[in-house]
A and B are shown apart, each in its own frame.
Chain A
């Protein structure tokens, strides 16, 4: 390789590595601000600001959802396995919102310790399954857990859910 070309090759490598290091450090420094939402544990640990709009995200706790008969008002809990947050929302929920699935809520705290959401978004997982296969998996799962101890707490249910959803197709 001619010296001039070698020099230009070094310049290219230099540009790419300096840019990577610089942007890498900047992104690393901003890592907490890049997260879209706070988890319930982070909120409970006081990492989220209190008097401003924040986003909170987690798994909607099974059997925690309740809705008033004559309005759109809904109450539900979200959890990350370690802490729970009670969310109040008045509006139309996304189609994919359901118990045992992840959701993200934007809103602020009310004085009585309930998170008042202005907007709720559903977060779906990276799994795509035909309905028949999903039913079969559900059946197998309920048979297995039917033999287990009844009245399991939510965190162990979450673990099972993750275990199930993390199971790849062979």
Chain B
């Protein structure tokens, strides 16, 4: 069994194998993610009941929550890929890590933007320096740091090590973001969907939200695979199999 995992791991580690395998997945993944996102948006924006206090303005939850979840999960994916690249020196893990950074940065920026748009009608302010929002801003800077660090080195060997170490150090921020609303007094409310215990959202509102979260997971996977494929083509452009693709 271990031998099988090891073999699979190392075969999956070759960029060429990854490129060819994901070519078959891409249309399905795109179909599923777009389908779920369209379904969730129509359901959430059109058919879910409005909130007793916030009225219709709460509906931005269907974008804000899934994007914020993926911004944080994406950081763990980037750091895990960084750890694999550091320990096993697998080229593909390095490519996944550097591809995850700009996607994560975009998601974090959108999470801050949608939160800010939501904050004005509910809290009465676009921005406040509370623990949740500030730690989320730190997450954005961590992503930007990985992007910048990756481009600062001419040697690939140095760049991936520096990026992986920064990614690993930054993982400390994720539990801080998640627990910030419980540990300190913040303007941001505590989590609605709880890992343990019942959620404090009506089931009719929760169902489209879960559809959107699953949809955004698929969408994130799609973006990450697409970006990694571009990275593979860019780095392996001189290899015979990539030249064979063009012909």
A interface residue numbers (CB < 8 A to B): 5, 8-9, 11-12, 15-16, 19-20, 23-24, 27, 31, 34-37, 39, 57, 93-97, 104, 119-135, 165-166, 168-170
Instruction: Name the distance in Å between B184's Cβ and chain A's nearest Cβ.
Output: 5
Q: How far is the CA of A37 from the CA of B185 in the complex (A)?
A: 7
Inside 8 A of B49's CB, which chain A residues have their CB? 130-132
B interface residue numbers (CB < 8 A to A): 49-54, 58, 61, 83, 86-88, 121-125, 128-131, 165, 168-169, 171-173, 176, 183-187, 189-192, 197-205
Q: How far is the CA of A8 from the CA of B85 in the complex (A)?
A: 10
Please determine whether B124 and A120 come into contact, CB atoms closer than 8 angstroms.
yes
Instruction: Name the distance in Å between A98's Cβ and chain B's nearest Cβ.
Output: 8
Inside 8 A of B185's CB, which chain A residues have their CB? 35-37, 39, 57
Inside 8 A of A37's CB, which chain B residues have their CB? 185
Please determine whether B186 and A9 come into contact, CB atoms closer than 8 angstroms.
no
Inside 8 A of A95's CB, which chain B residues have their CB? 121-122, 124
Partner of A169, one of B58, B186, B191, B199: B199
Please determine whether A27 and B176 come into contact, CB atoms closer than 8 angstroms.
yes
Please determine whether B125 and A121 come into contact, CB atoms closer than 8 angstroms.
yes
Inside 8 A of B172's CB, which chain A residues have their CB? 16, 19-20, 23-24
Q: How far is the CA of A155 from the CA of B11 in the complex (A)?
A: 65
Partner of A128, one of B125, B183, B200: B200
Given contacts A19-B172, A119-B125, A169-B201, 12 further A-B contacts (CB under 8 A): A12-B168, A23-B176, A31-B183, A36-B187, A37-B185, A94-B124, A95-B121, A128-B192, A128-B201, A128-B202, A130-B202, A168-B197
Inside 8 A of A126's CB, which chain B residues have their CB? 189-192, 200
**Mostly helix, strand, loop or mixed at chain B's interface?**
loop
**Which of the listed residues A8, A24, A34, A125 has the most CB atoms from chain B within 10 Å of its own CB?**
A34
Please determine whether A36 and B131 come into contact, CB atoms closer than 8 angstroms.
yes
Inside 8 A of B184's CB, which chain A residues have their CB? 31, 34-36
Inside 8 A of B61's CB, which chain A residues have their CB? 128
Inside 8 A of B192's CB, which chain A residues have their CB? 126-128
Partner of B123, one of A96, A129, A170: A96
Chosen A-B contacts, 25 in total, with CB atoms closer than 8 Å, are: A5-B87, A12-B83, A15-B168, A19-B171, A27-B176, A36-B131, A95-B124, A121-B187, A122-B124, A124-B53, A126-B189, A127-B201, A128-B58, A128-B201, A130-B50, A130-B52, A131-B49, A131-B52, A133-B52, A133-B202, A134-B53, A135-B52, A168-B198, A168-B199, A169-B203
Closest B residue to A31 by beta carbon equals B184
Q: How far is the CA of A56 from the CA of B129 in the complex (A)?
A: 14
On whether A96 and B54 interact (CB within 8 A), knowing A121-B125, A126-B191, the answer reads yes
